[in-house]
Structures are given as C-alpha cells and as structure tokens.
Amino acid sequence: MAPSGNIRSIPVLLPLGGNLLTIPVLKLLLVTDFGAHPIMSCNPICKLVQNPFSLFLFSFSLSFLSLLFLVPTFKIPFHHPLFSPRLICYFRMGRVKLKIKKLENTNGRQATFAKRKHGIMKKANELSILCDIDIILLMFSPTGKPSLCKGASSSIEEVITKFAQLTPQERAKRKLESLEALKKTFKKLDHDVNIPEFLGTSSQTIEDLTSQSRLLQNQLSDVHKRLSYWTNPDKINSIEHLGQLENSLRESLNQIRSHKENLGKQHLMSLECHTQFQNGMHVPFRMGAEQQLSPLLWMPNNDGQHIMLPEEQNLLPHRDAECTASTSFGSYSGYFGAGKHSELSSSGQESGMNGILDELNGTASLRLQLAGQYPYLPGPYNLNLLNDTKFQPAAEMNIQKCPGDFNASGSFEAPKPDYDTGPHGWASNSGSCAVTMFDDHLYAQIVFCIHGGDVYLATTLRLSFTYCSAGDQLLESLARFVKLPVLQGHGGWQATALHPALGCPGLCIKTSTAQLHFVKEKIMTGEEEEEGTHRLMQA
Amino acid sequence: MAPSGNIRSIPVLLPLGGNLLTIPVLKLLLVTDFGAHPIMSCNPICKLVQNPFSLFLFSFSLSFLSLLFLVPTFKIPFHHPLFSPRLICYFRMGRVKLKIKKLENTNGRQATFAKRKHGIMKKANELSILCDIDIILLMFSPTGKPSLCKGASSSIEEVITKFAQLTPQERAKRKLESLEALKKTFKKLDHDVNIPEFLGTSSQTIEDLTSQSRLLQNQLSDVHKRLSYWTNPDKINSIEHLGQLENSLRESLNQIRSHKENLGKQHLMSLECHTQFQNGMHVPFRMGAEQQLSPLLWMPNNDGQHIMLPEEQNLLPHRDAECTASTSFGSYSGYFGAGKHSELSSSGQESGMNGILDELNGTASLRLQLAGQYPYLPGPYNLNLLNDTKFQPAAEMNIQKCPGDFNASGSFEAPKPDYDTGPHGWASNSGSCAVTMFDDHLYAQIVFCIHGGDVYLATTLRLSFTYCSAGDQLLESLARFVKLPVLQGHGGWQATALHPALGCPGLCIKTSTAQLHFVKEKIMTGEEEEEGTHRLMQA
DNA sequence: GAGGCTATCTATAAGTC
DNA sequence: TGACTTATAGATAGCCT
C-alpha cells in the first residue's frame, strides 16, 4: 500500500522466516497495567487476526501511538509466553466475511440495507453511465420505503415497456412450452368453455361495448321512432304506410275489444277462484310476455349469474303466442319491405322469423343484426349485439355450414361498427404498441383464451401458441390481478393488442366463438392450417 | 495481506526512509539484454506504479522468479541513473481507477457491462436476501439484451405495483404542485372542456359501457314491450289499461285520418312544386323525426367527431311536434301512473316532460333515467345513459339547486347497475388494488381529468389535487401510451381505481359532468369544501 | 464472448459518535 | 439516521488465453 500521512498499515518483519509480511493493524490499543486495570472495557475483541505466524516483530508508526513489541496474533494474546502482561494489544477487526442469509436482527437489516443501498445505487448509476444503458433499480427498504434508481436517459415506464418487448428468441423459446400448456388445458376441460359467459364477461372491450352501445342506441331510437308512429301518426308521410298503420290500429282495436271481453270473464273467474288458479289463469298472457322478453335472456348477462340457454326457452310452450305476433306483423308486411331485404322477408315469411331464429338458437354465434331491415318489428331478432360484432370476420371466412336461409340470402348486412374512425379508447393505442411488440409475422395473429382462471395467449397464423409476457408467472399475475381486456382490432382474427397491465404486457385479441372453437379444435388435433382457410365451427 | 503459498505481495524495505512499505508486484518480468532484445514486446506497460519514493530496495519471492535489484518506479525506469539496462522490470498494472463517464469504446462497454452486470446482480441478490426486501433490477445490455434480477419472494409486477403505492408524504408533497398545475391548465383553457367528448372518448370503462349496454338493453326490451302492446293488446291484462290503449288507438286512428287528408293535399302540392319546395315541404315531418332522434345526439359520441350541444337542438323550432307528442302521452296518463312515481308524473304534467327536459338540457349532466317510470313513453328522456350512471351519487349529495320538479319528487331512482355481482372486467380488479393504494381517507376521493394531452388526477375530498403516479413524467406517458380508462366503482364520486398501465399505476375515477365542472369551479376559486356538502354546478 | 489473472479499487462489517 | 473509523471482503480494470 502506498504510504500516506497517517500510516495504518504496518509492514512487519517476521523473525521466524525470511519473508516480509504486512500485518493489519487498525487500531492498536496499548494498555499497560500501570493502572492495573482491565483493558477489556476499552474495546471488545471481536476477532483476532488469523495469522499463520505465531510471533513476529513489527514496527509501526501511527499518528496517535508508536511502539515496538512482540505480540502473538495467532492465539488470544493473554496465553502466550512472550506476551507481556504490561502490553496488550487489541485488534479491532475490520470487515468480516458475511454469510449471505437473512439478517435476523432488525436493526442489522436496516443498517445493512442503508449501506448496501447506497452502494448498489452507486453501482447502478455508474453502470448506466459507463455503458450507456437503460437500467432500473427499484427496491424497498425493510421498513417499506421505496427507492428507485434509473439511468439518466430513460424513464421507468420506458424501460419496463422495453423489457416487455421480448426478443424473438425468447418468444420462440416459449412457443413450444405454451403450445403444450394450451393443449393440456384444453384437454383438462371436460366441458366446453361457457362461451357466452366467456365472451360476455371477460372478453368485452371498450370498443366492443362502445359499438354495442351505439347499436343499442340506434335500435332504441328506431324502436322509439316506431313506437312514436303509433302514438303520433302525423309523422308518417307515406299514404300507403298510413293506411297500413291504420289497418293495424283497427286490428289492434278489434283485438282489444275481444280481449277486453275475455279479460272481463277471466277477471270474474279469477275473483272466484283466486287462490286456486292465481298462477295458472294468467298463463296465456305470461307466455305472451315471455315471448316478447325472451330475447333479453340472450343478451350478454353482465352479472354473469345466469344465462338462459335457447333450449330452456324453447321448452316454453309459447308457439301460439308467437303465431299471434306473426299475424300482427303480417299486417305490416308492407313496412317490412321498406328496407333492402324485402325479398328475404317475403321468402322467409313461410318458415317465419321464428323458424330462422330457431336455427340461430342452435348455432349460438350465428346471430346477426337484422334490425335495420325490419324497422317496425318489435321482435327478438335484433337484440343479438354482442355476437354480431364478434362475428364480423364471418364474411371473410369460408362458410361451409350455415343455415340455408342465411347463405341463400347472402347479404346479411350486420351493421358494422366503424372501429377505424375517430379517437379510440386506450385499447387502440395499446394496439399500436403491440405492432411494435409483435412485428414479426409469425406472431402477428393471436388468439387469447381465458378460462378457469388461466390465461392463454396464442398465435394463430401457424396455430402455434406462445406466452407473450415477460415470464410465465406474469401471465398468472395478469390473470390474478386483472382480467385481461380483449381488444377488438381490424377483424377479430387479426388484431393484437398490448396489455400494459402492471408493466408487463400481455397479448389480447378478440375472437369469435367459432374461431375460438376452431383454434381449440386445431390445437387438439395438432393440425396445421394455412392462413385464409379458416372455416366455421360446426355447431 | 496474509501470506499464501504464492507470495505476490512483497514488503520492501526502503533505503531512504525508516518505514517499511509494501510494493505491489503482480507479475515481475525480468528481461535481460542477453539477447539484446526488446522487452517491450513481452508486455506493454500500461501504467507504472505511482510511488512517492524514487528508489527502493525490494526483495521478493515468486514461484517463477526471484531477484533483488534496484528499480525506479517513480519515473519510467529507463531514465534512471541507477537503472541497469540489463534488468528491466515491468509492472503489469492491476486495477486502475476508472473515470465514471461513458466508455467510448464499444467493446469496452460490452466488457465492462458484462463484468459489472454480474457484480450488481450479485449485490442485488445479496441485498434482497440479507435484508429480506423486494428488489427489482432491470437493465439492458449495450446490445439491448434485457437482464432482470429480482428478489426471491416477489414478482416484478408486485414490486412495481407496490412502488406505485407512494408514501403519504410523497403524495402530500405533490399535492401543492398538482393543484397549481391543475389551476394553470384550467386557466389556460379559454374554452370549456368538451365534456361530452371527454366523457365519451377517453373516460369510458368496461364497466361503464357494460352497464350502459345493460341499461340500453333493458330500455330496448321495455320499448319493445311497449310497442308490442300496440300490436298485441292481448298481453295487457288490465281492463283499464286496455281501455286507455283503446282510446289511444282511436285517437291515433283519428289522427291518421286527418293526416291522410293532409298528406293527400301535400302530395298533390309537392307534385306540383316539387323542385321548389322539395325540402321545405317536409319540414314538419323532418322536425318530428328530429324531435325523436335528438336525444341521440346527446349520447356519447364514440367517434368523437361532433356532438350536438343542447343549445343547438333548442334552436330547432320543434315545439309543435313536442306538443303533439305530449297530447298523445296525455291520453296515457293512467299508464304513467302505473309505476312508483305517479305523483311525479301527475304533478309534472303541467310543466310537461318537455319542460323538465329543457331544464335538463341546460344542466347537461342532470339527465336521469326515467324509462322505468314511464313505460309507454317513446320520448327522449330515457336515453341518457352515460350521465345517468355517472350521476348516481346525486342522492348522497346535498343538492342545493335543482329543478323544482326533481327536488320535489325526491326519489329519482336511477336504475343502479350492480357492480358487485358476477365476474368483472379488469377494472374491478384494479379497483380493489386502488383501495390499498389510497387507503388514507384524504385521497379516497379522486377526480380524473384529461384534456389536451394532459392527465390530471385530483382528490376531491378536500378539493386538493395530486398527481398519483410514481412521477410526473409517468402521467405524461400514461396519457401518451394509453388513454386512461376511467373506472366506475361504487358511486362515481367515490370510486378510485388503479391503472396498471406500463406498470406505473395512475388513478382513475369516473365522475359526472357536473362534478367535473364543480371541481373545476372549486379549483378556480380555491374554495375549500367539506365532505358531504357538495352541491351541483349551476348551469 | 467467457473465463482467468493480479493488483488494485471499492464497498462495507462492526463499531463508535 | 447518518458520519466516522479501519481492515478486509469483494469487485473489477486491464491484460491474457
């Protein structure tokens, strides 16, 4: 060591060997027995220097003390024969080797943290400067106080976002694992995914719901308009339509008259047999109401409590009531045909709307938005909003099995929410992030599955699947902390979006029920599929 | 240094002084001129030991070399008079002090990073074990490869989320800054925030939209039901109601008859003066349609393109059409009273629904959900879904200035979506995080403002405002990267939610238009307000 | 690039104030 | 809590393979 003004390192000449050695002496306390008094109180001996030489001579020069003497360092000095009782030297130890395990002493943890925090932050800073890198060092003291150290050139969120952009190698590495995991999960499911619930609860995105809301609003206004025609026929400016409405009004009036009579009788009866037939008596009317209301049971049940299945509804014997409704609609056929699809409504007249709907009930996802074509109908056919937005890509797909009426007409124009215009919610913005993240084509097409608390992200282009987070546990956390929103992009099949939850992006994509099944099927069979040859799941 | 088998540290006795010093000799290369050949090729001299002593004698023992000679270390040895040309000693330097600045050499950066990365990660790990703390060390090599080091007990997202939970002190510190910033921004705005757009684009959450959809669906079913009563009076099982409907039908029939006559005349006229009056002739009908549709213009405009303001609508001269509608409604007063609020509808009869609505138009946010009370009304009053959910807390507030009819009735029951049942979107989960984050009451109530690319988060309990992110720039980033979803919780006024975007939570809260204005007003006047004494903004 | 080498530089244990 | 002490444990610069 280079000498300095205050010499504390003292080279010592060993009497027993030919070598010169240095002896560490931090603080040499000379204690004499002049006062015959304990030296131990001065400084506790922590540890003696371990030294292979039992005795040596050393000279030293300290600013506060200077002496020459013999001292054993090999053993506790007191026992050595050469040890002078009048001269006792204590070495206060310097640093000792620390076992890396949790410090049980709370104060020790605090002190150690304070020191090492300083050190590690200095190192982090040096590293960021020396190597010009992005670095984030975030830690919490044992008391919970956070400390953040970051490189000068970047912000924490930038770095974390960057971190989430895994390298292609890392993504590729996870591909196989993920495929296996996904297969396993699909196998594990001994029942089908409850898709209405799945889509209705976890998979709704801002854009989804926004478009849904817009559709509902439009429908509502339509229905209001239609309703207002009844109360306010002045607004109808077509004589034929006025005539039709007039006929309907007359018909309704006639119905009312006969119904009033029935009601009167029923009222008497119900007064007589109130306790016995309280429920039974009103069945015809209750059924009628259900027939009108039943479509609501098909709506996304946002409470997730219960969704009535089509089968349940079909069990209700309300066919008669439906016929009544059809009759009433029939008097409006002229108005039905006011839209673009008069040929459909007239050709569909025979099987009836209800027949088509029955078909639709069988294929839950094949629910299209027909309200635009039937402005006056109060029927159930125009309430299927959720699935309709999901089903946009159907047009691009190779539809192999479809209810005949639909395929024949060939022109179901589901009102398409324009996802591309105007400012979007965060989904769109995140989506643009994802483009960066998944800019290689292999990962451009992704399906997101959530079921039973597990989150799966899957690429679909090659039907290979990959976790797209920074680590497997991230997905678990994502699933635990947030229910991943599923984002709608340009066609449910294509869109990807970055989920920035907790700084660890996951991938989300909106897909249709059919597509989900399709993918699942493909996974199970291990089939490879080329882009553009997707077909619909057969219900 | 303690001696070891291979002694490399050699104590040297200085000839010129009385002290003993150690001289570091890592590798002593003895080069003789036996071959008269350059020594430089053996090892480049990087740096000579800086030593205050110009000459000294040193003995040494190395396993591969042993000699005794004079060597100047103070200067380049070659020039020293005592330097023997036959014996040249090169010291290969050990570590040199490194200036902390960016290493210009790319390879040097790489090498340094590799070494120091190892070191810092080791230190981070040690620290996490020793002190049992959460720690995240994330860095990118100069080549962009990420490295993550974290404590054993925690995941990265947990730590980052925890980090976002700023200490109260830190939050308090930002309070003043933020208040000032918010004031400044509001002052800077020479126009009002376009609140419908603001609410309609950036502030819609999954839950928001879900409840909105649910309400719309309910309304739609209601309207369908109402419509079906017209076409299908069989479903009405009350004789009085049947009678009322019958009267309405008759009235409508009469209207139709007279309208038909009018239409006939108009038709003739329009045929005559087609080119001249093409637009003008249909004004009465177009106005009627607008009257029905106008509420839609109040709906969240998800395209963000244009939102018609109430003033614009009021400019339209459609009072006549409204009166017509009122007349038609009037014949249904019996049905109006079927709900809970018959006293309201009858007392409100004089000023009329439209009068109330005009009031509402003045205070944009005072749009309540009335559809439930007026099942048969096709009017515009039940389309205000967005604001209605926002306005739930109105009941808890001390409403000081309200349209009289509303205050008198005192029991507006906006259908409250039950956010507590069933599976939620990610919003709810995040919301629960926020409870942790803002568990002190001072920050429990928060308003979130976004405008002009700036994001503001504000506590409302004391009308103090604070940035709630980990750093100011986080908010900027949040605003840039994602449009913060605004989350609906239990009452728009109360709810807070953690936004985990980019790992750096921000605070989001859904608030009503009026509340936003209210807060703004309070900020501008610097008024302090106690909890529970909020009043509505006066339009 | 990874790892080894050596001597140094640096961080820090234990203790005191 | 942080500053100070000292000696040492550990990290690492510059070099090599």
| B63-103: pLDDT as tens digits | 222 232 223 222 223 333 333 332 333 333 457 778 888 88
Q: What percent of chain B has pLDDT over 70?
A: 21
**Residue (of A533, A454, A523) closest to A175 by Cα position:** A523
Mutation target to probe the B interface, by most B beta carbons within 10 A, among A132, A143, A215, A221 is A221
Query: Taking phi first (over 0 means left), then psi (-120 to 50 degrees means alpha), and beta for anything else, what does residue B494 get?
Result: alpha
**C-beta atoms of A137 and B140 within 8 A:** no
Q: What is the pLDDT of residue B144?
A: 82
| ipTM of the complex in this document | 0.36
pLDDT: which is higher, A525 or B143: B143
Alpha carbons A181 and A449: distance in angstroms, whole number: 12
CB contact (8 A) between residue A206 and residue B202: no
Distance, C-alpha A219 to centroid of its chain? 31
Which residue's CA is nearest to the C1' of nucleotide D2? A114
The pLDDT value recorded for residue B5 is 25
Q: Which nucleotide is nearest to A111 (CA to C1')?
A: D1
State how far residue B415 is from chain A, nearest Cα, in angstroms: 15
Q: What is the DSSP letter of A500?
A: -
Strand D: list positions under 7 Å from protein Cβ.
1-2, 5-16
Q: What is the per-residue pLDDT across A62-98, written as a single tens digit (0 to 9) for each?
A: 222 223 222 322 222 333 333 332 233 333 345 777 8
Q: Which residues pair with A451 in a beta bridge?
A: A454
The partner residue sitting opposite A256, judged by closest CB among B10, B123, B249, is B249
Show the tokens assigned to A379.
């029927």
Structure token pair of residue B536: 């509505």
**Measured between CA atoms, how close is B104 to chain A, in angstroms?**
9
How far is it, in rounded angstroms, from Cα B499 to Cα B519?
22
pLDDT tens digit sequence for B279-327: 433 333 333 333 332 222 222 233 333 323 233 333 333 333 333 232 2
> How does residue B205 score in pLDDT terms, banded at 50, 70 and 90?
low
Sign of CA dihedral A514, A517, A520, A521: negative
Q: What is the mean pLDDT of residues A331-344?
A: 29
* Lookup result for tokens 């409405």: A245
pLDDT the model gives residue B156: 78
By C1' distance from the Cα of A113, the closest nucleotide is: C12
Instruction: Give the range among A261-265, A409-413, B450-454 with minimum mean pLDDT.
Output: A409-413
Among the listed residues B331, B82, B426, the one whose alpha carbon sits nearest the alpha carbon of residue A485: B426
Residue B264 has pLDDT above 60, yes or no: yes
Band (pLDDT 50/70/90 cuts) for residue B142 is: confident
pLDDT digits (tens, 9 = 90+) for A492-515: 222 233 333 222 233 333 344 454
Put residue B304 in one of left, alpha, beta given phi > 0 → left and psi -120 to 50 → alpha.
left
Q: Which of B305, B378, B483 is the closest to A228 by Cβ?
A: B378
B367 contacts B358 by C-beta, under 8 angstroms:
no
- Asked if the model's pLDDT at residue A148 lies above 80, the reply is yes
* E strand or H helix that includes residue A223: helix A206-231
Mutate to test the interface with A, among B137, B199, B234 (most CBs of A within 10 A): B234
Neighbour count for residue A18 (Cβ, 10 Å):
8
| Residue B118: per-residue pLDDT | 87
With cut-offs at 50, 70 and 90, classify the pLDDT of residue B267: low
CB closer than 7 A to strand C: which residues?
A 43-44, 46, 92-96, 98, 108, 111-112, 115-116, 118-120, 122-123; B 6, 8-9, 24-27, 49, 91-98, 110, 114, 123, 143
> Which of A292, A296, A503 has its CB closest to that of B503?
A503
Helix and strand totals (H; E) in chain A? 18, 12
Instruction: Give the three-state DSSP class for B455.
Output: strand
pLDDT confidence tier of residue A181, bands split at 50, 70 and 90: low
What is the number of other CB atoms lying within 10 angstroms of the CB of residue B154?
Answer: 17
pLDDT band at B426 (very low <50, low <70, confident <90, very high): very low
Residue whose structure tokens are 């006929």: A247
- pLDDT confidence tier of residue A521, bands split at 50, 70 and 90: low
- Amino acid in the structure at residue B24: P
Instruction: State, as a whole number of angstroms, the distance between the CA of A163 and the C1' of D16.
Output: 35
- Interval A270-326: pLDDT, tens: 555 444 433 433 333 333 333 332 222 222 233 333 323 233 333 333 333 333 232
Chain B residues touching A452 at Cβ < 8 A: none
Q: Which residue of A has its CA nearest to B331?
A: A231
- The larger pLDDT score, comparing residue B453 to residue B268, is at B268
Residue B467 has pLDDT above 70, yes or no: no
Name residues whose C-beta falls within 8 Å of residue A176's C-beta, 6 or more positions apart in sequence. none
Who wins on pLDDT, A185 or B135? B135
A125 CA vs D13 C1’ separation (Å): 18
How confident is residue B159, by pLDDT bands cut at 50, 70 and 90? confident
A174-188, A207-221, A440-454, B63-77: which has the minimum mean pLDDT?
B63-77
CA distance B514 to A58: 86
Of A154-163, A227-236, B61-70, B257-266, the range with the lowest mean pLDDT is B61-70
Helix, strand, coil distribution of chain A in percent, nearest 5: 45, 10, 40
Residue for token pair 């309405």: B248
Average pLDDT over chain B reads 44
Which residue in chain A is spatially nearest to B119 when comparing CA positions? A123
Q: Which residue is nearest to nucleotide D11 (CA to C1')?
A: B119
User: Cβ contact (<8 Å) for B255 and A237?
Assistant: no
* CB-CB contact of B56 with B23 (8 Å): yes
Provide the whole-model pTM: 0.34
Residue B114 has pLDDT above 80, yes or no: yes
> What gap in Å lies between CA A315 and CA A307, rounded to an integer?
15
* pLDDT recorded at residue A207: 60
CA distances to B318, B375, B402 from B288, in Å: 7, 21, 29
Judged by average pLDDT, the poorest of A119-133, A215-229, B343-357 is B343-357
B236–chain A nearest CA distance, Å: 8
Higher pLDDT, A175 or B298: A175
Distance B108 CA to D14 C1' (A): 10
A43 CA to C17 C1', in Å?
Answer: 15
Record: contact A123-B117, CB cut-off 8 A: no
C-alpha to C-alpha distance for A128 and B339, rounded to whole angstroms: 69
**Selected residue with higher pLDDT from A165 and A492:** A165
